[in-house]
Structure 1
Amino acid sequence: MANNLPDLCLQNIFKHLNYDKALYPCTLVNKQWSYSSIPVLWSNPFIYVFEGRKPLNSLKPLIDTYLSFLPQNQQEELEIKPKFNQNSIMFNYPVYIRHIFFYFIYEGVKYWCNHCNVSNIIIKERKNQICKALIESFFIKSSKIDTFEIFESDDDYFNISDIFGSISNIQKIQKIRTLIIAKCSDISILLNLTLNVKSLKLFTLYNFDLVNSLRQFVQSQKNLTDITFSFPPKLFPTYWEIFHSSKTATSTVTFIEFIHIQFPKNISLIYHLALFTNLQYLKFRACDFGYIPNIKEDQLIQEINSNYPLAFKKLNTIIIIEDSYLNLEILKILLQFSGEELLSLELFEVKINKFNYIIKWLEVFCPNLRRLVIVDKTNDKLEIVGIHDFFRKFNNLSYVIINGEKHFAT
């Protein structure tokens, strides 16, 4: 049956497979599966090593493979003796890369240089040259790059504009993942050229000179749907304001994630989130709500209903992970506003003091809930009292997960 599936269908299936346990074995099944799985396997090979916690020595054959595809004159200029003959390699691996993660590529090249008997005197210059050559090769050979990451480097680095072919490829990027950025020249080029961004992730931008560039960038994005933030308290309000004050972002963004945010006292989080009229997915990971002052619930609800009648009307998923203390006031307001639209509530590794309150709010406000997961390992006595009556309050809820245990409706 699987042999009858078109290659494109197989590739779409393979994108959802785990790299170690399922994807790699697919390359060994038969010729069709091999040809369909290799492009997926090689779309982002560096991340499999770094985020998959693979041994660093697996980087060397990876870099060796890519270096074998450099033009002969470039190999000679960089004093590289290719390990493989291009003509003997079955696949043109650089064609398949879709994710340009500077950090992973840079660290991979650094490891390769450190294990190729390169003199410490020239290793710094050489790794920059090789890194530049590889990224240039990726830009030239791959037409499907859709994810891009810039990071701050302590070493001498190079500008994106120095890489042949980068400008035209940057303009095609669909997703951008921006990590620690310190090179204003690099990020300015990226912000000025990238107009098709759908997903933007910002992690600890210490350079306030980027604020105006980022503001213009956000205003220019007509397809921005996903944003992720991770900032220290002093920086967060400045960068967060760029988004909640943007008419463009507040009308297009559907997904917001906060990571390791310690929300400051002067932040009006609920008001700001209410501005995002298409918000569907809201996620907090390891955030601290403790600094948000007590909320005047009735006044807040009245003001939001009056000023932002569309607030949270499309919010269908709320996820809170690794929160030291769950702010019940904020959760109640979100449940109340999302109401019938809410389909999924997941609370992982959170400290829950008033579990029964949450259950009651769900019964009152969220009749269409389909997924409920609550995990608090500090409290092994979490229990839904009258669980059968609880299930009757919902139209589509077939089971709930409480501290890892499934409870079914029947």
Structure 2
Amino acid sequence: MTCQLPFDCLNDIFKCLEEDKHTLYSCLLVNHLWCEVSVRIIWGNIWNIRTPRNNIVSSSILSTLVACLPNESKELLCKNEIFILTPTPKLPLFNYTAFCKILPISSIDELVVNSLQNKKPSKKRLVKEEIIKMFANQVYPLKKLFYYNNYYPLNFSFPYFPGLRDLSELYCSTILPSNFYYQLSQICCNLHTLSIIFDGYATPNELKELISLQNNLKVLILSAYDNASWKDIIPALKNNSNTITKLRLYGNKSNLPFSFVGLFYNLQEFIFSFMNVVNGNYFEGFKSLQYVNFSNLQTLKFPYHCPRPEYVMEFLETNGKNLKKFYVRGSNKALRLSIADFCPNLRSLFIVFNNNEIDILKVIFNNCEYLESIKVWCGKHYLSEKKVFETVANYSPNNFYELKIDNISHSDISPEDLEPFFISWKNRITKRILSLIIIKEYCKNLDDDEENMEIIKKYENLGIIRFRTIGYEKEKDEENYFII
């Protein structure tokens, strides 16, 4: 007699397969219960399996959504001579729409446009409206709403969108009509995450009201580019000064206000990500934060341009003791050396060393005894891979287990370099498996050499290392370099 695991148990197991789509899809074929569990997980965020260039996938998703439309919507499309082939003439096996927990308005727009390229704009708009209305009536609760632009305004009342009452994540922009924020503020006061793109338009007062009404806002993401600024919403943030624990700031200019960060004394994570800033401009506004004490801060990241190093050093002297993750790309030698003194409890580190600074890496390894993971640049003016391997083998602390290498130029590592490193790792007192991760962009990496891969496979089979490569874009997503 076979034993069938209950639905909830299978659901917990299959959630671990969300990134392994091939295995998850195979579960669809086992039996009806496995199929339903898998379908719920896949359709929970169906948008992440589709790409703008894959019209086949887009058409398949659209046809399934059309099959789920209520009869009145199907009749309306038919009346307007909009005929979209569905997977089956019968009703779908599941109500796929109800499984969705994430609704990106722009993705629906993109889905329809890519799939119905030869249709008139008016007919595309009708399809979009009927699909969004279906989501409005059937998705409950909705976890995430992505609504960034005003190209496709929602033209129905939000009280008829019951899932929004328990919305936990909102990703929006200041270009949206004020009525959107007004209606949302009437029904939604329990946002966990709020992400706002400032488009250069005046910030609607209704958005400020929505912010001030939140009871438990924990994650705040602000993105301002070109002439835009988040200055106008700062007063509305005061009501959430004790609840916000994660703050991510994105932009491409340095004269934005930063002193308001000091309001959030319970911060655990602070990401300061600015691109294309004119050389010589060092975010003078950060000066006001250098002595602010964030007693709970564990993660600090400067993925691109960094404030003036002396400001960051003062900040680390005040807050570095509690840091577990510190990522900084733009730094000077003094700042790199200060990490060993001010951040003794680090678990994860990304820092750029010049090619003559291997001794600084040794000092960090010696002083940061809890360090588990490090990412470094190799090649050209930076550290050589061979020296990094030698230093990791001989100086990394007992807890260390993960090495990420981002090659700026072609790798010159050889099997003669790799094997001694793996042997040294095998002979360490602490028998932790080493995770070796190569970030691939355009350069030739060590795994592009067949002999290197033979050595790698040998020590993988011995249980000494785990090896993988990740694309540059995926690595940036994992490190929150950009808005997801």
Asked whether the two chains share a fold, i.e. TM above 0.5, the reply is: yes
Aligned residue in 2 for 1:390 = 395
Larger relative contact order (CA 8 Å, sep ≥ 6): 1
Q: CA deviation at 1:281?
A: 2.2
Q: CA deviation at 1:258?
A: 2.2
CA-based RMSD of the aligned residues comes to 3.9
Q: CA deviation at 1:88?
A: 2.5
Aligned residue in 2 for 1:288 = 305
Aligned residue in 2 for 1:318 = 326
Give the SS at the match of 1:35: helix
**Contact 2:355–2:384 (8 Å) recurs in 1:** no
Aligned residue in 1 for 2:223 = 203
Aligned residue in 1 for 2:70 = 71
Match of 1:338 among 334, 338, 343: 343
The 2-side partners of 1:56 and 1:218 are apart by 45
Are 1:100 and 2:103 matched, yes or no? yes
Are 1:27 and 2:16 matched, yes or no? no
Aligned residue in 2 for 1:164 = 160
**Contact 1:96–1:142 (8 Å) recurs in 2:** yes
TM-score scaled to structure 2, two decimals? 0.64
Aligned residue in 2 for 1:14 = 14
The 1-side partners of 2:309 and 2:229 are apart by 34
Give the SS at the match of 2:365: helix
CA offsets, 1:83-121, max 9 Å, x none?
A: 447962111111121222222222112223424xx324x
Q: CA deviation at 1:143?
A: 2.1
Are 1:272 and 2:323 matched, yes or no? no
Q: CA deviation at 1:194?
A: 5.0
Are 1:89 and 2:92 matched, yes or no? yes
Amino acid at match of 2:54: P
**Contact 1:191–1:214 (8 Å) recurs in 2:** no
Amino acid at match of 2:45: N
CA offsets, 1:217-265, max 9 Å, x none?
A: 4633764333332212146x23x444x132xx33144353525374942
The 1-side partners of 2:195 and 2:101 are apart by 13
Range 144-153 or range 269-278, more displaced:
269-278
- Cα separation, partners in 2 of 1:133 and 1:374, compared to 1, 3 Å: same
Spell out the pairing of 1:161-200 with structure 2 (5 A cutoff): 164-165=160-161, 168-170=165-167, 171=188, 173-179=191-197, 184=203, 187=207, 191=211, 195-200=215-220
- Cα separation, partners in 2 of 1:268 and 1:199, compared to 1, 3 Å: same
Give the SS at the match of 2:322: coil
Range 205-214 or range 61-70, more displaced:
205-214
- Cα separation, partners in 2 of 1:62 and 1:233, compared to 1, 3 Å: same
The 2-side partners of 1:257 and 1:296 are apart by 14
CA offsets, 1:262-303, max 9 Å, x none?
A: 494243648637543322223333x123xx445289xx64x8
**Contact 2:349–2:375 (8 Å) recurs in 1:** yes
Range 175-184 or range 96-105, more displaced:
175-184
Give the SS at the match of 2:249: strand
Structure 1's unaligned 5+ residue stretches are: none
CA offsets, 1:163-197, max 9 Å, x none?
A: 73265244255434444655855845753665444
Give the SS at the match of 2:273: strand
The 2-side partners of 1:189 and 1:72 are apart by 39
Q: CA deviation at 1:42?
A: 0.8
**Contact 2:356–2:383 (8 Å) recurs in 1:** no
The 2-side partners of 1:188 and 1:157 are apart by 20
The 2-side partners of 1:140 and 1:343 are apart by 46
- Cα separation, partners in 2 of 1:140 and 1:34, compared to 1, 3 Å: same
Q: CA deviation at 1:49?
A: 1.3
Give the SS at the match of 1:313: helix
Q: CA deviation at 1:396?
A: 1.8
Amino acid at match of 2:384: K
- Cα separation, partners in 2 of 1:73 and 1:195, compared to 1, 3 Å: farther
Give the SS at the match of 1:228: strand
**Contact 1:195–1:220 (8 Å) recurs in 2:** yes
Match of 1:110 among 101, 110, 113: 113
Amino acid at match of 1:346: F
Q: CA deviation at 1:132?
A: 4.0
TM-score scaled to structure 1, two decimals? 0.74
Q: CA deviation at 1:316?
A: 0.8
- Cα separation, partners in 2 of 1:398 and 1:107, compared to 1, 3 Å: closer
Give the SS at the match of 1:336: helix
Amino acid at match of 2:14: F
**Contact 2:15–2:41 (8 Å) recurs in 1:** yes
Range 269-278 or range 28-37, more displaced:
269-278
Amino acid at match of 1:104: S
Q: CA deviation at 1:56?
A: 2.7
CA offsets, 1:354-384, max 9 Å, x none?
A: 4324313313431111223323243462415
Aligned pairs, number: 377
The 2-side partners of 1:401 and 1:64 are apart by 42
Amino acid at match of 2:137: I
Amino acid at match of 2:73: Q
Are 1:260 and 2:265 matched, yes or no? no
The 2-side partners of 1:223 and 1:86 are apart by 51
The 2-side partners of 1:221 and 1:133 are apart by 40
Aligned residue in 2 for 1:370 = 372
